[in-house]
Structure formats: C-alpha cells, structure tokens
Amino acid sequence: MSLEEVLFILSLPKVLGKDPETNEEIKVGIGKFGPYVALGKNFTSVPEFDALRTLTLDKAIEITKHAKEKKGTKGQATEPVKTFGEVDGKLLAVFSGRYGLYGKYGKDNFALEKEMKSNPSALDTLTVEKMLELYKNYTPKEKTKKKTTKEEIEQKWGILPPNIIFYKLCFIIMKKA
C-alpha cells in the first residue's frame, strides 16, 4: 500500500457536495460493510474500493438514485395481475408474489393451483366461482416453532455457552442493583 493510498483512506469520509434536489450532503467513505456513498442517512454500497477515488458528485447522485429505485417493494402493495372485482365487499384478485402467483380475498391470501402458479396463461380460465372455491378449500400450513430449552442446550454442549452465562450474570447483577 502506497503513501498516497494511506492518505486517501485517512481523508475518508469525504464530502463530495450537496444533492441539488434535497440539499443534503453526499459523502463517500469506508464502513464496516465496505466502501459506500451516503446521501443524508441513506447509505449505498460501492462495488469497488478503487471507484471511491474517481467518484464524482454526478456519479454519486446516480448511484444513490439507482439504489432508491432498486430497493424492494417488500411490505408494499402491488398491482394485481388479474382482478375479479368486489365480492361481498372484499376485493378478489390474483397477485404476483415472491413464490409465484397467489390469490387474495380481502386481506386473506390463498394458494392457487400449481399449474396456475407456473403458467400465467392458465389464469384466463379462472372464474369468480373457481377463485372462491380455492379460497374456501385453502388451509394454511401450521407454523411450528420449537423453543430450545436451557436443558437441551446443556445436554448438547455439556454446559451453557459463555454468552448465555454472561447474560445471566448481567441479569442477576442488574436485579440486585
């Protein structure tokens, strides 16, 4: 590593300028996940460290805008692939999700038949009656979450792991205080 590289690293984080739209500072730096561009409190990773040296304000703005567009729509409503209108005051529609196509009746989601999930052209044969039948016949899978007990941990490891012992000690000390 040359002296020039070391001096560059020590100069980080560096302010490139202000975003013309939001008037927030745009910074570049190195964080615990690698090189980044920061616009206000929004951080975007830069794929290569060497790109930080040649990064201009315009390129940094482009990187942050591209990251905003690329961010997932997790938890946000999407447009339905096919709607059947309202039935009993609830929307009946087919949506595209993470695991393929699914039906939605009001707030309840339900699975479609396997051939419909993989073949969107099969949606043309769907009717309101068929969708309601799929909804009524759908039984969601039970989510079982087994909680590991202290005894099972002791049996597996012989003793409690150090982090659990540490937390127990902290709890006891705080309780006495």
Q: Which residues contact 116 (CB under 8 A, 6 or more apart)?
A: 101, 122, 123, 126
Q: How far apart are the first and last CA of the chain?
A: 51
Element (H, E) at 168: helix 162-176
Strand ranges for 20-156 from DSSP E: 25-31, 34-39, 42-45, 82-87, 90-97, 100-105, 108-111
Domain positions in the chain:
3-70, 82-137, 149-177
Of 37-46, 47-56, 110-119, 154-163, which gets the smallest average pLDDT? 154-163
Amino acid at 33: F
Q: What single-letter DSSP state applies at residue 122? A: G
pLDDT at 169 over 60: no
Write the pLDDT tens digit of every residue in 94-109. Answer: 888 877 888 999 888 9
The CA distance from 1 to 170, in Å, is 44
- Both tokens assigned to 94: 């087919």
Write the pLDDT tens digit of every residue in 23-81. Answer: 888 898 888 888 888 888 888 888 777 777 888 888 888 888 777 665 655 555 578 88
The CA distance from 49 to 29, in Å, is 9
Chain centre distance of CA 129: 35
